[in-house]
Chains A and B, each alone.
Chain A
Amino acid sequence: MHQKENVNYLNVEYGIKSWLFTKDHKRIGVMYLIAVTLFFIVGALAALGVRLELLTPEGDLMSSDAYNRFFTMHGVIMIFLFLIPSIPAVLGNFVLPIMIGARDLAFPRINLLSWYIFIFSGIIGIIGILKGGIDTGWTFYTPYSSIYSHTPVVLVAFAAFLVGFSSILTGLNFIATVHTMRAPGLSWFRLPLFVWAMYATSLVIMLGTPVVAITLVLLILDRAVGLGIFNPTLGGDPVLFQHLFWFYSHPAVYIMILPAMGVVSEVVSAFSRKKVFGYKFIVYSSMAIAVIGFLVWGHHMYTSGQSALSGIVFSILTVLVGVPTAVKILNWTVTLYRGSVSFEAPMLYALGFMGLFIIGGLTGLFLAALGTDVHLHDTYFVVAHFHYTMVGGAIMGFLAGLHYWWPKITGRMYPEFLGKFGAIVVFVGFHLTFLPQFVAGYLGMPRRYHYYVPEFQFYNILSTAGATILGAGMILVIGYLVWSARYGEKAVSNPWRAVGLEWETASPPHPHNFEEVPRVEWDAYDYEYKYKKEGVSFA
């Protein structure tokens, strides 16, 4: 028997055109999800090539030239086309307007434009790969990138330049939306912490991205017409490039991690069914991270020949940025205290985030402190550290959020058992991949090494074994999510019985999110208020 479904954003219109010309933030979010997943798969395949090659100290699978292109493409794709857009453009796009009771973002057309810019830059990037890829490392250090590399650097740098505009427009949209479109009663300090995190992220995006855009233009001019600003033989300074590049690219780390922190605040609260501990402190710590994050770029250059004084200034600022991060971890931990804790897949990912980020954060101290960084800089210790924060942090956060809002996005439940199993596989595979790299780095294995000395092989075998498990976990997750989007059990409007405006609307939501504009009379995560209002007798 066929029962007519309510109108929702998925069934309101059909056909490819209805998607490509949509101005609905939810549909654009879904289109972003598809795009970033495809880029993630390409980036993961590049990582697979790298890890397989590193099983032995010799270069037996591919040439050094090919290896250098593999690790570069892994970095470029994962950072510019996956990590940076993942949470903001997918989850932020989808849930941010609903969370604040708005019908859409402030500028729906600009939102669609930013998707097209993203896709267009992605295609240019892919053309760059098809032309053989580049071999500069994702950091594009000069003068190697500007003079010596024989690969299509201009093309890929242009793609990275262009994709920044997509971020800038999304950031602009979020800021305008949060300022002007909050539902009646939804004051700033009633906003869900995910919204705060997106707001802080948007500020960083808008202030930082133009700098990397300028830097990449200068690099392109250096390479294409011999401008020479980074070329020492023409009186330029190659280290200037590093300063400009990291002035954006360090804050970019926070563009990747702040949204994940926002997700974790939502999920930990929802699966403890209580208010987050220290709501305001989490808000302030996001803002502190956004501000201090702009002042620490020099910690990438302790050994680059910058003065000892700059090293000291950047070191003190860098250790201080650890404080707001520690505050967040402690706040989430204590949120569990006196909670009603349950362990569905989103919560397992959020707990996994905490578990990995604790190690990622603490190992950052080794690299913030000058004395140890001199030895560890540009070794696998750094590789391990930033994967703990970027993969352990950003990807775990993304998966937590994706599972948490999956019923809202698709109107279907993912299979819970596979969800939990996948989360555990990913967590274990992750540790096995990256823990050994800390040791390899301390022993002195440099990054970006195709050949390496035999002493390091043991750690590389462990790492490749871990990557295999991690990869299998990711295939499982992508597999059941795709399956469940069609065949999963139908989701109710609030499957987690969580507090938040996104759970007040249908799953999947109405094209305009709410039948009528909601009024917010409660603080964020106020479970007592909500359960009382619904007449649930709670313990």
Chain B
Amino acid sequence: MKGIEFFPQVASTIAPSVDKLFFFLVALTIFFTVVLYGLIIYFSVKFRRKEENEIGRDFQSLALEISWTVAPIFLVLFIFYWGVKVYFMQVVPPEDSIEYQVVGKQWMWYFQHPNGKREINELHVPKGQNIVLKMISQDVIHSFFVPAFRIKRDVLPGRYTVAWFNATKKGKFHLFCAEYCGLDHSRMIGRIIVMEPEEYELWLEEGSVVSQKEDKPIPPEEKGKILFGKLGCGSCHRAEDSPLAPSLVGKYGTEVELSDGSTVKVDDDYLRESILDSQAKIVKGYNPIMPVYAGQLSEEDVMNLVAYIKSLGASEK
């Protein structure tokens, strides 16, 4: 048996905020538990039955009743408010976050760094950097949970979710899958390895840990571009709108009108859907002629394609 721990490690910028609320609630719980246990024991002893025919004396008090109905309302609203404040820190990634890709799969975690380096079940990250994880599952629901960072986010099939953190401490931290996902759920664990930024840069140079063939990592948008060419996407999706298909240049983040008259924002989920299930939402003025790619592309491929399309929007606008 390893040493006994009482507190989890504190290794991200938000962890102290979560702990502050946690320990406030611990104090509150202990306080009320002691007070109520005290009252129950005191009343039980003081008013214990002293003779066989004794009965209690009625006691009612509307004032007491109203006060302990109203007072807790303020207390719980305060807790609610504090919880929301911490929650916003947890769920809204800062603007300058760098995106890493995560794919969950029974029972492994796949990671891709911004420079295209890939890892399985281990994620090396630089300390002090805002990092946002774009996550998707290839099969069932998983959940990305790093106790030392106090973050948790479900990883869903068919939809991107995000989590973010900024690690404050060098070291190795547990990564757990927190949503039950079948046979080896409890072995779907990994490590987040936090390094000094310089160390991390050196580590990135070392080449791929996943495949020997990838001696030099290729960034996701480059991989996407290569795939875009291979699949022949460019024959319809050209630099300018063609009669066959809309151009993808400068479209990311804009609103487009669909054939049914509704509008949709061009974001990661929309792009993903339009690649895999191309008939679902057709842009106004075009025919549904694009092939369906569901079952032909892995989630990693799709993420790379989306990254490429995203890069088109950013550069040419």
Using a CB–CB distance below 8 Å, which chain A residues touch chain B? 64-65, 68, 135-137, 141, 143-144, 147-149, 232-233, 235, 237-239, 272-275, 277-278, 281, 302-305, 308, 311-312, 315-316, 319-320, 322-323, 326-327, 329-331, 333-334, 336-343, 351, 354-355, 358-359, 362-363, 365-366, 368-375, 377-379, 439, 442-444, 446-455, 457-458, 461, 527-528, 531, 536-539
Q: Chain A residues near B55 (CB, 8 Å)?
A: 273-274, 340, 527-528, 531, 538-539
Which of A235, A327, A359, A369 touches B29 (beta carbons < 8 Å)?
A: A359
Q: How far is the CA of A369 from the CA of B177 in the complex (A)?
A: 22
Asked if residues B54 and A336 are in contact (CB atoms below 8 Å), the reply is no
> Among residues 52 to 70 in chain B, which have CB atoms less than 8 Å away from a CB atom of chain A?
53-61, 64-65, 68-69
With A274-B55, A458-B4 as given contacts, are A343 and B187 in contact (CB-CB < 8 Å)? no
Q: How far is the CA of A351 from the CA of B156 in the complex (A)?
A: 44
Asked if residues B186 and A64 are in contact (CB atoms below 8 Å), the reply is yes
Q: Mark B16-50, 1 if CB is under 8 A from A, else 0.
A: 01100110010011001100110110011001111
Asked if residues A337 and B47 are in contact (CB atoms below 8 Å), the reply is yes
Interface with A: B121-129, B136-144, B241-249, B260-268, which one?
A: B136-144
Asked if residues B141 and A444 are in contact (CB atoms below 8 Å), the reply is no
Q: How far is the CB of A242 from chain B (nearest CB, A)?
A: 9
With A319-B80, A334-B64, A341-B49 as given contacts, are A539 and B18 in contact (CB-CB < 8 Å)? no
Asked if residues A457 and B1 are in contact (CB atoms below 8 Å), the reply is yes
Asked if residues A144 and B180 are in contact (CB atoms below 8 Å), the reply is yes
Asked if residues A316 and B80 are in contact (CB atoms below 8 Å), the reply is yes
The 18 sampled A-B contact pairs (Cβ below 8 Å) are A233-B158, A238-B157, A273-B55, A319-B80, A331-B65, A333-B36, A334-B64, A340-B54, A368-B76, A369-B82, A371-B85, A373-B83, A374-B90, A446-B186, A448-B186, A451-B187, A455-B5, A539-B54
Which of A277, A303, A363 touches B153 (beta carbons < 8 Å)?
A: A303
Using a CB–CB distance below 8 Å, which chain B residues touch chain A? 1-8, 17-18, 21-22, 25, 28-29, 32-33, 36-37, 39-40, 43-44, 47-51, 53-61, 64-65, 68-69, 72-73, 76-77, 79-80, 82-92, 106, 139-141, 143, 145, 147-148, 150-154, 156-159, 161, 174, 176-187, 189, 277, 280, 294
Q: Chain B residues near A235 (CB, 8 Å)?
A: 277, 280
Chain B interface, DSSP helix/strand/loop, else mixed: mixed
Q: Chain A residues near B186 (CB, 8 Å)?
A: 64, 446, 448-452
Q: How far is the CB of A495 from chain B (nearest CB, A)?
A: 13
Q: How far is the CA of A72 from the CA of B259 in the complex (A)?
A: 47
Asked if residues A442 and B161 are in contact (CB atoms below 8 Å), the reply is no
With A135-B182, A354-B40 as given contacts, are A538 and B54 in contact (CB-CB < 8 Å)? yes
With A370-B86, A371-B18, A528-B55 as given contacts, are A378 and B179 in contact (CB-CB < 8 Å)? yes
Q: Chain B residues near A304 (CB, 8 Å)?
A: 141, 154, 156
Q: Chain A residues near B89 (CB, 8 Å)?
A: 371
Q: How far is the CA of A331 from the CA of B72 in the complex (A)?
A: 14
Asked if residues B37 and A358 are in contact (CB atoms below 8 Å), the reply is yes
Asked if residues B90 and A232 are in contact (CB atoms below 8 Å), the reply is no
Q: How far is the CA of A147 from the CA of B138 in the complex (A)?
A: 13
Asked if residues B79 and A365 are in contact (CB atoms below 8 Å), the reply is yes
Asked if residues B59 and A303 are in contact (CB atoms below 8 Å), the reply is no
Asked if residues A336 and B43 are in contact (CB atoms below 8 Å), the reply is yes
Q: How far is the CB of B280 from chain A (nearest CB, A)?
A: 7
Q: How far is the CA of A362 from the CA of B141 in the complex (A)?
A: 30
**Smallest CB-CB A-B distances: 7 pairs:** A371-B86, A444-B147, A274-B56, A232-B158, A369-B83, A370-B87, A336-B43
From A366, which residue of chain B is reached at the shortest CB distance?
B25
Q: Chain B residues near A239 (CB, 8 Å)?
A: 156
Asked if residues B72 and A323 are in contact (CB atoms below 8 Å), the reply is yes
Q: How far is the CB of A293 from chain B (nearest CB, A)?
A: 15
Asked if residues A359 and B33 are in contact (CB atoms below 8 Å), the reply is yes
Asked if residues A341 and B48 are in contact (CB atoms below 8 Å), the reply is yes
Q: How far is the CB of A512 from chain B (nearest CB, A)?
A: 31
Q: Chain A residues near B58 (CB, 8 Å)?
A: 274-275, 338, 528
Which of B33, B39, B106, B151 touches A374 (beta carbons < 8 Å)?
A: B151
Q: How far is the CA of A281 from the CA of B72 in the complex (A)?
A: 15
With A65-B183, A355-B40 as given contacts, are A274 and B57 in contact (CB-CB < 8 Å)? yes
From B159, which residue of chain A is reached at the shortest CB distance?
A305
Q: How far is the CB of B240 from chain A (nearest CB, A)?
A: 32
Asked if residues A333 and B87 are in contact (CB atoms below 8 Å), the reply is no
Q: How far is the CA of A281 from the CA of B68 in the complex (A)?
A: 11
Asked if residues A374 and B152 are in contact (CB atoms below 8 Å), the reply is yes
Q: Chain B residues near A373 (CB, 8 Å)?
A: 83
Q: How far is the CA of A331 from the CA of B66 in the complex (A)?
A: 11
Q: Chain A residues near B21 (CB, 8 Å)?
A: 369, 371-372
